[in-house]
Structure 1
Amino acid sequence: MVFILGGWQSDFSTVWSRQGMDLADAFAEAVNQGMAATAIDAAEVETGHVGNFTAELFAGQGLLGGFFGLVDPAFNGLPTARHEAACASGSVAVLAATAEIEAGRYDLACVVGIEQMRNVPGQTAAEHLGAAAWVGHEYGEARYVWPAAFSDLAEEYDRRYGLKYEHLMRIAEINFGNAKRNPNAQTRGYAFSPESFTADDDANPVVEGRTRKMDCGQVTDGSAVVFLASEKRAADYAAKRGISLDSLPRIAGWGHRSAPIGYARKVADSAGQPYVFPQVRRAIEDARARAGVTDIAQIDAVETHDCFTATEYMAIDHLGLTAPGESWKAIEDGSIDVGGRLPINPSGGLIGCGHPVGATGVRMLLDAAKQVSGSAGDYQVDGANRVQTLNIGGSTTTTVSFIVERAAA
């Protein structure tokens, strides 16, 4: 069993270059703020992991594990590693840290998710992010690779089941609305007109194909950090603070699946099957099986990947909230709203909170931990004892899901 002792998230509206910060500065800020928030000393940390996708392209920097040694002299000698799985990089870093803890190698791990993305023009950023597609084999004609890819996903849903744009826009409206209650959300101060959530070409212009501006998650600079511990180390942590071990969030289950990198191959492989992305469904089910979750009603909230509204539309039915192709039912009946049957993205998700790629999986885990410990503030879901995350890299090339709960769940 791996416990989450706490962590920290940066303000996703901050542009680091405007603050005179580089990637190393932001890394140090995350770790130092995380240690302050959890009252953990650097000398107590036994291993460090970093989730990051494209630091080489955006910042010309690799070997990010070496940044730990710049934060505190006690980290000199710390075993570290950097992990890459596109938008699932942070979750893969978490998986690596949990594996070390479960193997008995270490008892306390620091996991940092980090990405700097607003230091280059938008078109350059889009080209850098295209590295997660099958370069030279798909979307070479697209100006914006990922809006084009998830336009294709919307088209596939429409072809198989039918799809109304109003349902995609309701997803966007919910996530932007949730973000207004999140003090770290990139879009918390954004304002929209009613026309913004329609197919109005002025208020909501086309980006690629069926993807419009309001369908898109927000690229940004951002970091998140979590401290993970073995049961023995967590018990010691709790005892020193006069709290119950059962009050600490824990990772009860995980799922990790990969699919071929090309989008067209994935869709061809799922022809005639109920789910568009079978490996996403398998990762979700694997996490629940390991956590002993047998019914979706046992999940109180979800932090899911919504790099585009079509991604969340897909996630709704893959999570089992509806039958395949019927995600619209959960949107129309309010199931995914805060206060609904299964609130999705109370943080605002990638659309509302922001999507610094390598940080997203770590941020999701941290938000799940906040929810089950009742410390999510204004975006707290009442009675949240068990939360599932769903983090996707590329066109679902890598999928990672965690179940986070309290012992009383």
Structure 2
Amino acid sequence: MSRNVRVIGGFQTDFSKNWAREEKDLTALFTETLHGGLEAVHVNAGEIESAHVGNFTAELFCDQGHLGGFFTAAAPEMAGTPAMRHEAACASGSMALLSAMSEIEAGRYDLVAVLGVEMMRNVPGAQAAAFIGSPALWAGRECIDVKYPWPHMFGKLGEEYERRYGLKREHLSEISRINFENAKRNPNSQTRKWGFDEKSFTSDDEANPTIDGMIRKHDCSQITDGGTVVFLASDAKAAEIVARAGRTLSDAPRISGWGHKTAHIGLNEKLDESRDAEYVFPHVLAAILDMYRRAGIDGPAGVDGFEVHDCFTPTEYMAIDHLGITAPGEAWKAIEAGDVALGGKSPINPSGGLIGCGHPVGATGVRMMLDCWKQVTDRAGDYQVENAQRFGMLNLGGSATTAAAFVLDKG
């Protein structure tokens, strides 16, 4: 029988920070992330028994691979600690989480660090778009001669919803508005000081210009520098660590459910495969249903809120119905009713999500898990969901090729 996996806390860097502008490199970002986490959870680096890092494209942005060795570079006490890197595009952090969980479940280790990191603002915007484009697409087969690959791809997802069910611009705009509004409450979000006016979430070509197809500026997640770390522990180790700060095991909620599915790398292939299906991405639905089943809950009514992958507004639109908040193609109902807003029945992205909080690609899955921990331990501050006992997350990689879902449970 596998053991419980608990989250004892962690740390997130300020996602508004431009590290290259401050003449700091990936090593500095990694080091601040790790030490911020160690201090936050009252753990010494030498206690860490295993370590995992999620990262997508450090080779391209920073000319740096082999990131497992950064743990010892950042904390010499970790010399000899087994460490490894994981990559699955925007779901890289979740792959690191899944691997760390399996080590604790199997009884190999009792305390494991999971760190996600990405430095992406050290090159011009067009170059950044290229660096995060081709590697996660089907290289040489998708988005050839497309300037901004990902807005193009997720615009096609929106077009598929429009074709199957109908889709209104104002519903995507409301997703964007909610996420930017939530981000203003988050002291670590990239956009917390951004200003908007009444035209920002409209089809005004000056205030909200078109990027590609139906995707406009404020439909997009951010190019972000950032790191996040969480620490996973067995029951016994979690109880020992939280006691140091005079806390109880309720401050180390357990990961009660998870799901992980991988589909064809090509978007057209995925859409063709689901042509006659009820849901646009059946594999994403399957990952979510696995999460609910393992957590022993029937669906979204058993979860107090979600952090979801809103790389673009159509992605969150898709997540709403795949999570079961609405029937397929009816996400607009939850948006119009205010169900997904902070204070609604199924709040989504209280942190601001990828659109508002920021999207350092390899760190996003880890950041989502940290925000779930904040919610169920009543540490989310101004973006706290009242009396949250159970929080879910959905992290996607590429054109939803990789899907990973988790539930964090205070019980």
For Structure 1 versus Structure 2, the TM-score category normalised by the shorter chain is over 0.9
Deviating runs (4+, > 4 A) in structure 1?
A: none
Alignment of 1:7-22 (within 5 A): 7-22=10-25
Alignment of 1:32-51 (within 5 A): 32-51=35-54
1:153 maps onto 2:166 in alignment: no
Aligned counterpart for 1:296 among listed residues 291, 294, 300? 300
What's the TM-score, normalizing by structure 2?
A: 0.98
1:252 maps to 256
2:174 paired with 1:170: yes
The partner residue of 1:117 within 83, 105, 120 is: 120
Give the whole-Å Cα distance in 1 for the aligned partners of 2:247 and 2:154. Answer: 45
**Pairs within 5 Å for 1:197-276:** 197-276=201-280
Partner of 2:96: 93
Bigger mean CA deviation after superposition, 301-310 or 201-210:
201-210
Q: Which of the residues 379, 384, 395 maps onto 1:380?
A: 384
Question: Conserved in 1, the CA contact under 8 Å of 2:309 and 2:394?
Answer: yes
Distance between the aligned counterparts of 1:395 and 1:222, measured in 2? 22
Shifted more, 244-253 versus 65-74: the winner is: 244-253
Asked if residue 80 in structure 1 is aligned to residue 78 in structure 2, the reply is no
Query: 3-state SS of the aligned residue for 1:16?
Result: coil
Residue from 68, 72, 91 that aligns with 1:69: 72
- Determine the structure 2 residue equivalent to 1:339: 343
Is 1:190 the counterpart of 2:201 in the alignment? no
2: CA distance between counterparts of 1:152 and 1:80? 38
The residue number in structure 2 matching 1:60 is 63
SS where residue 51 of structure 2 aligns?
Answer: strand
Give the CA deviation at 1:241.
3.6
What SS class does the counterpart of residue 384 from structure 1 fall into? coil
Local SS of the residue matching 2:190: coil
Q: CA deviation at 1:351?
A: 0.4
The answer to whether the 8 Å contact 2:42/2:241 transfers is no
CA distance in 1, matches of 2:91, 2:23: 28
Say which is worse superposed, 150-159 or 294-303, in terms of deviation. 294-303
Q: What CA distance in whole angstroms lies between the structure 2 residues aligned with 1:65 and 1:180?
A: 34
| Pairing partner for 2:287 from 275, 283, 289 | 283
Structure 1 residue 367 and structure 2 residue 371: aligned? yes
Q: How far off its partner does 1:247 sit? A: 3.4
CA separation in 2, counterparts of 1:228 and 1:263? 34
Provide the rounded CA distance (Å) in 2 between the counterparts of 1:230 and 1:186.
33
Q: Following the alignment from structure 2 to structure 1, what is the Cα–Cα distance between the partners of residues 247 and 188?
A: 27
Q: How far does residue 19 in structure 1 lie from its aligned partner after superposition?
A: 1.6
- What amino acid is the match of 2:7? I
Q: 1: distance between equivalents of 2:292 and 2:161?
A: 25
* Letter paired with 2:116: G
Over the residues paired in the alignment, what is the CA RMSD in angstroms?
Answer: 0.8
**Cα distance change on mapping 1:38 and 1:164 into 2, 3 Å:** same
| 3-state SS of paired residue (2:340) | coil
**CA positional deviation for 1:198:** 0.7
% identical equivalent positions: 57
Distance in 1 of aligned mates of 2:299 and 2:291: 12
- Amino acid in the other structure paired with 1:12: F
Q: Partner of 1:228: helix, strand, or coil?
A: strand
* Structure 2 partner of 1:179: 183
CA-to-partner distance for each residue in 1:43-102, whole Å, 9 max, x for gaps? 111001000000000000000000011112211101000000000000100111011111
Q: Please report how far the alpha carbon of residue 297 of structure 1 lies from its aligned counterpart in structure 2 after TM superposition.
A: 0.9
The 8 Å contact of residues 58 and 119 in structure 2, kept in 1 or not, is answered as: yes
Rounded to whole Å, the distance in 2 between the matches of 1:69 and 1:325 is 48
Rounded Cα–Cα distance in structure 1 between residues aligned with 2:300 and 2:198: 33
CA distance in 2, matches of 1:295, 1:359: 27
User: Which residue among 23, 27, 31 is the counterpart of 1:28?
Assistant: 31
Question: 1:244-273: CA deviations, max 9, x gaps?
Answer: 223322111110000000000000000111
User: 2 CA distance for matches of 1:398 and 1:231?
Assistant: 29
Q: Partners in 2 of 1:184 and 1:164 — Cα distance?
A: 31
1:141 CA displacement? 2.7
What is the rounded CA distance, in whole Å, between the counterparts of 2:248 and 2:207 in structure 1?
Answer: 51
User: What amino acid sits opposite 1:404 in the alignment?
Assistant: L
Question: Which residue does the alignment assign to 1:391?
Answer: 395
Question: Which whole-Å CA distance do the structure 2 matches of 1:246 and 1:264 have between them?
Answer: 44
CA distance in 2 between partners of 1:203 and 1:364 (Å): 29
Q: Where does residue 330 of structure 2 map in the other structure?
A: 326
Name the SS of the counterpart of 1:194 in structure 2: coil
Please give the secondary structure, in 1, of the residue aligned with 2:199: helix
For 2:279, the aligned partner's letter is Y
Q: Return the alpha-carbon distance in structure 2 between the equivalents of residues 74 and 164 of structure 1.
A: 55
Query: Match of 1:37, as an amino acid?
Result: A
Query: Deviations 1:274-327 (Å, cap 9, x if unpaired)?
Result: 100011111111111111111321100100000000000000000000000000
The Cα of 1:179 is off from its aligned counterpart by 0.2
